[in-house]
Chain A
Amino acid sequence: MNLAATGLACAVAIGVLTALAALVVPARSAVVGVGTVLSGAAAMLAGCAAMSGVSFVVALPALLPLSGMLFTLDALGGLFVAVTGAVAVAVGVYGISYTRAPDLRARGVQAVLPLFVVAMVLVPAAASAGAFLVCWELMALFSLLLVVAEHRRRPEVASAGRWYAVMTHLGFLSVLIGLMVFVARAGDDSFSALRDSARHLSPLVAGVVFVLALLGFASKAGIVPLHAWLPRAHPEAPSHVSALMSAAMVNLGVYGLVRVGFDLLGGGPVWWWLLVLVLGAVSAVYGILQAAMSTDLKRLLGQSTTENMGLVLVGVGAAGLFASSGNRTLAGLALVAALLHVVGHAAFKTLLFLAAGSVLHATGTRDLDELGGLRPVMPVTTAAFGLGALAASALPPGTAFVSEWLLLQALIHGLPASGVAAAVAMPVAVAAVALTAGLAVATFVKAFGVGFLAKPRSAAAAGAHESPVTMLAGMGIAAVACAVLALAPAVVLPGIEAAARVAGDPAVSGAVTLRLTGVTGALSPVLLGLALIVAVVALAGVVRVVATHRVRREARLWDCGGGPMSPRMEYTATSFAEPLQRVFDDVVQPELDVDVTHHEESRYLVRAVEYRRKVPDRIERRLYQPVLRFVATCGERGRVLATGSVHRYLGYGFYTVCGLLLLLAVTR
Chain B
Amino acid sequence: MLRLWRKIRTVGRVAEPAPLPPATDQPPAAAALAGSVQIRHVDAGSCNGCEVEIGSAFGPVYDGERYGARLVASPRHADALLVTGVVTRNMAEPLRRTFEAVPAPKLVVAVGDCARNCGVFAGAYGVAGAVGDIVPVDLEIAGCPPRPEAIVDGLRKLTGR
- Chain A interfacial positions (CB closer than 8 Å to B): 549, 553, 555-556, 558-562
Contact = CB atoms under 8 A, between A and B. Distances in A.
Contacts, number: 21
B94 A556 contact: no
A553 B94 CA distance: 20
Contacts of B93: 561
15 contacts: A549-B104, A553-B104, A555-B100, A556-B101, A558-B74, A558-B75, A558-B76, A559-B97, A560-B94, A561-B91, A561-B93, A561-B94, A561-B95, A561-B97, A561-B98
A558 B104 contact: no
A556 B103 contact: no
Contacts of B94: 560-562
Contacts of B76: 558
A464 to B, nearest CB: 29
A553 B97 contact: no
Contacts of A553: 103-104
Given A553-B104, A558-B76, 17 more contacts: A549-B104, A553-B103, A555-B100, A555-B101, A556-B97, A556-B100, A556-B101, A558-B101, A559-B97, A560-B94, A561-B91, A561-B93, A561-B94, A561-B95, A561-B97, A561-B98, A562-B94
Nearest to B98: A561
Interface of B: 74-76, 91, 93-95, 97-98, 100-101, 103-104
B135 to A, nearest CB: 12
A602 to B, nearest CB: 25
Contacts of A560: 94
Q: Is the interface of B mostly helix, strand, loop or mixed?
A: helix
A556 B97 CA distance: 9
B82 to A, nearest CB: 15
Interface centre among B93, B97, B98 (most CB of A within 10 A): B97
A437 B101 CA distance: 38
The 9 A-B pairs of least Cβ separation, nearest first, read A561-B94, A561-B97, A561-B98, A558-B101, A558-B76, A558-B74, A555-B101, A558-B75, A562-B94
A561 B44 CA distance: 11
Contacts of B95: 561
Interface centre among A553, A555, A556 (most CB of B within 10 A): A555
A560 B101 CA distance: 10
Nearest to B99: A561
A224 to B, nearest CB: 44
A556 B76 CA distance: 11
Interface centre among A553, A556, A558, A561 (most CB of B within 10 A): A561
Contacts of A549: 104
Nearest to A548: B32
A556 B93 CA distance: 14
B36 to A, nearest CB: 15
Contacts of B103: 553
A175 to B, nearest CB: 60
Nearest to A557: B101
Contacts of B100: 555-556
A553 B76 CA distance: 12
A555 B103 CA distance: 10
Contacts of A559: 97
A560 to B, nearest CB: 8
A549 B104 CA distance: 9
Nearest to B97: A561
A37 B39 CA distance: 62
A560 B100 CA distance: 12
A493 B98 CA distance: 57
A549 B76 CA distance: 15
Contacts of A561: 91, 93-95, 97-98
A550 to B, nearest CB: 13
A61 to B, nearest CB: 77
Contacts of B101: 555-556, 558
Nearest to B100: A555
B1 to A, nearest CB: 29
A558 B93 CA distance: 13
B41 to A, nearest CB: 13
B98 to A, nearest CB: 5
A11 B48 CA distance: 80
